[in-house]
Amino acid sequence: MALLANGAVPGEPVKTDKNSRRGNWGNQIEFILTSVGYAVGLGNVWRFPYLCYRNGGGAFMFPYFIMLVFCGIPLFFLELSFGQFASQGCLGVWRISPMFKGVGYGMMVVSTYIGIYYNVVICIAFYYFFSSMTNLLPWTYCNNPWNTPTCNGVVTPRGINNTLANVTRSLVTGAAEVAVEVVNKTKRTSPSEEYWKHYVLQISDDIGNFGEVRLPILGCLAVSWVVVFLCLIRGVKSSGKVVYFTATFPYVVLTILFIRGITLEGAVTGIKYYLTPQWHKILDAKVWGDAASQIFYSLGCAWGGLITMASYNKFHNNCYRDSIIISITNCATSVYAGFVIFSILGFMAHHLNVDVSEVADHGPGLAFVAYPEALTLLPISPLWSLLFFFMLILLGLGTQFCLLETLVTAIVDEIGTDWIVRNKTVVTGGVAIVGFLLGVPLTTQAGIYWLLLMDNYAASFSLVIISCIMCICIMYVYGHKKYFKDVEMMLGFPPPIFFRVCWRFVSPIIISFILIFTVIQYKPITYNDYVYPGWSLAIGFLMAMSSVICIPIYALYKIAKSEGTTFLERLKNSCKPDVKWGPALSEHRIGLYATPGSEGEVEVRPLKEELREKEKEDEKRDEISLTIQGSNGSTEHNTTPSA
C-alpha cells in the first residue's frame, strides 16, 4: 500500500492529517532534529569515547554496531510507531492494554529523576561558560586562593621579564625527568580539579553533609530552567523552531574542535589510544554488555520521550525511515566525539610526557576537569572553552526539552479537558517550577554526591525492565499480528521481517542480557576516593524501584476495577484494548477501528447520499477550471483526470 505525496493512503479521501487539538510538528525536519537532540546528549561526549577506549578501542565498534542493528534501531522504531499510531503520550498509549499503564507511570518517574539532575549538569555548564568570559581561564594556574600546596599546573605562569623566563625555562628543562618521576609517584592535583572541587562545588566531606546552597550554581539553575521553559512555552510549535539551532550547532562546534585538535602535537597518539583494536577483548562478555548498555541508554529508550515526540507526528509519517536516520546519527555522533576528545587528551598527554591513560576520564571528570585543563594549553584558550561549554549546554538542552515535554504531554493527555489543553503553558510552567525546586538540594555542597547517585540508580536497570515489559505487552499481550497490521495501516506497508523478528525475539533477549549483565557487574557507587554509605545506597535502590513498582501496583489496581466475577475474567478484561485505542483522528479510524452505528456515522451516511448529485455538478465545474477535487468517497467512476 503506497502513500500519496500528501501523505494520504490511496482510496481514502484527501485529508489534512493534522491534529488541531493536540498540535503537530511544523514539518518532519523539526521532528527529526528534536529526536536527534533528544538522543544525542552529554553521554555521547563524556561516556562513549571513554567506553570505547577501555573496551578494546576499534574492536569495541564491532559489538557496538551489532547491538545498534539488533537492539537499538528496532526498539527505537517500536517506540516511535507506538506513539505515532495512538497520537498519545507515555500514559495515553497504554489504552492498548490498560493493565500495563503502570509502565507509562514508570516512564514518567524516570523522566522526572533524569530531568531534575540533568538540568543541574546543564547549569554547571552554564557556570563554566560564564567563567570562560575572561582573558585568562580561572583554572589555568595554581596561584588562586582556593588552590592547595599539592596543586601542580600544566601551564607555567609567565615570568616578570624575559631573563627570568629564560632561567625558569632552563631549570624546568633540566628537571623534566625528575618532575615526571614525581608526578608518577604522587597523584597530581590539577588546578582544574581544585577549581572544580574547592571553588565551584566547595564540596563537602560526606553525602549527608549538605552545607550551604552554592548561590552561583543556584542562579545558573534558574537560568537553565527559564531557558527550557521559554523554548517550550508553545509546546512543540516553539521547541520545533529552537531545535534548528540547538540540534545542529553542536556539530559545528565539534567540527571546529576536531580541526583544532588534530593539528596539535600528540593528537595522533590520543586517537590511536581511542581506536587501536584489541581483538582479544571481543570475547569478553563485559565488552558486549557495555556495548548493549551504551546503545540502550544513549538512544533514550524507555524514557517516554520517543513515544511523546512521535505522538506529535502526522498519522502517515514514515517513522520507519526516521528511526534509522536518528539512530545512526546518534551513534555516528558518539564516534565523531571520540576523535574530538582524544585528540585534545593526546596533546595534553604529550605535553605532560605521560601516557594517555593518565589523563583519560569520563563523566563530570572529563567535562569539568580533564578537558578544561587541556584547553588551557591552547592559544586563545577562553575561546575554545566558550565553544566547548556552549556545545555541552546545547547537547543538554536538546535532551531536557524532551524530558519536560514528556511530563507535560502525559499530564495534559491524561486530564484531557479543554481548559488544560488550552492552558498547556501553565502546566509547562508548573512542571518547570517544581523541577527547579527539586533540583535545589543538588546545588548544595553535597550536591555532586546526590547527582551521581541519581545518575547511577534512578535510570539504570529500571529502564531495562520497563523496555522489556513494553515489548512483551505489545508483542504477546496485545498481539504481534494486530500490531503489525496497525503499523501497515499507518505507514502503508508492514514492518520489514527483520524488525518483526527483532521485536518478538531478538530485542527482548538482548534486553534481558543487559539486565543480567547490569546485576552481575554491579559495584557500589564511589566518587574518586569517597565510598558512599549504606543508607545512601538504599535511597538509590529505592529511586530505582520507585519507577518499576508502578507497574505491578497499577496492574493490581486495574484488575480490581475491571469487570468479571473471577480473577481470570478480571485479568482478561484488564488486558483488552480500551475502546479509545487506535488512531486519534476519526478519519483514520478505519477497518477494525471504525465505529459503525455511532451517531457520527448515522449523520455522515445520509450526508454522503445527499451530496452525490451536487458532487456531479462540482465535477463538471472542475473540468472547466482544471481544478481536481476529491470524490468524497463516491463509488461512481470518475472520468476526470486525477493526481
pLDDT tens-place string over residues 331-344: 999 999 999 999 99
Q: How far apart are CA 111 and CA 105, in angstroms?
A: 10
pLDDT reported for residue 158: 55
Half-sphere exposure of 317 (CA within 13 A, CB side): 31
- Output the CA–CA distances (angstroms, integers) from residue 125 to 38, 388, 389, in the order listed: 18, 9, 6
**Quick one: pLDDT band at residue 293, thresholds 50, 70, 90?**
confident
Q: State the amino acid at position 253 in one-letter form.
A: V
Class of residue 566 by CB neighbours under 10 A (exposed 0-12, middle 13-18, buried 19+) = exposed
**Quick one: pLDDT band at residue 522, thresholds 50, 70, 90?**
confident
Grid coordinates of 346:
593526546
pLDDT reported for residue 633: 40
Grid coordinates of 454:
541519581
Output 521 or 380, whichever has higher pLDDT.
380
pLDDT reported for residue 16: 58
Neighbours of 590 (CB within 10 A): 14
| 530: phi then psi, degrees, rounded to nearest 5 | -85, 130
Q: How far apart are CA 631 and CA 616, in angstroms?
A: 9
Range of the domain at 537: 28-141+194-561
**Quick one: pLDDT band at residue 638, thresholds 50, 70, 90?**
very low
CA dihedral 333, 338, 339, 342 (to 10 degrees): 160
316 inside domain: yes
Instruction: Determine the angle formed by the axes of helices 319-352 and 28-39, rounding to 10 degrees.
Output: 40
pLDDT reported for residue 162: 38
Q: Is 298 annotated as a binding residue?
A: yes
Output 238 or 612, whichever has higher pLDDT.
238
Output 466 or 626, whichever has higher pLDDT.
466
- Please, what is the Cα angle at 419 between 416 and 425, to 5 degrees? 95
**Quick one: pLDDT band at residue 172, thresholds 50, 70, 90?**
very low
526 inside domain: yes
Q: How far apart are CA 237 and CA 625, in angstroms?
A: 36
Q: 599-632: b or e for each residue (b if 16 or more CB lie within 10 Å)? A: eeeeeeeeeeeeeeeebeeebeebeeeeeeeebe
- Output the CA–CA distances (angstroms, integers) from residue 173 to 168, 170, 255, 629, in the order listed: 9, 5, 35, 84
Output 81 or 273, whichever has higher pLDDT.
81
642 has pLDDT over 90: no
Q: Is 209 annotated as a binding residue?
A: no
Q: How far apart are CA 293 and CA 42, in angstroms?
A: 15
Q: Is 37 annotated as a binding residue?
A: yes
Grid coordinates of 526:
564511589
Reported as a single tens digit per residue, the pLDDT across 208-258 is 999 999 999 999 999 999 999 999 999 999 999 999 999 999 999 999 999
348 inside domain: yes
Q: How many domains does the chain have?
A: 1
382 inside domain: yes
Output 635 or 404, whichever has higher pLDDT.
404
Q: How far apart are CA 616 and CA 55, in angstroms?
A: 71
Grid coordinates of 111:
523522566
Helix (H) or strand (E) holding 603: helix 599-625
**Quick one: pLDDT band at residue 182, thresholds 50, 70, 90?**
very low
Q: Is 135 annotated as a binding residue?
A: no
Q: How far apart are CA 290 and CA 286, in angstroms?
A: 6
268 inside domain: yes
Q: If you write DSSP's letter for every residue of 628-643 in order, what string do you get?
A: ----TT--S---S---
198 inside domain: yes
638 inside domain: no
The answer to whether 33 and 248 have CB atoms below 8 angstroms apart is yes
584 inside domain: no
The CATH number for 258's domain is: 1.20.1740
Reported as a single tens digit per residue, the pLDDT across 72-100 is 999 999 999 999 999 999 999 999 999 99
pLDDT reported for residue 616: 52
pTM reported for the whole predicted model: 0.85
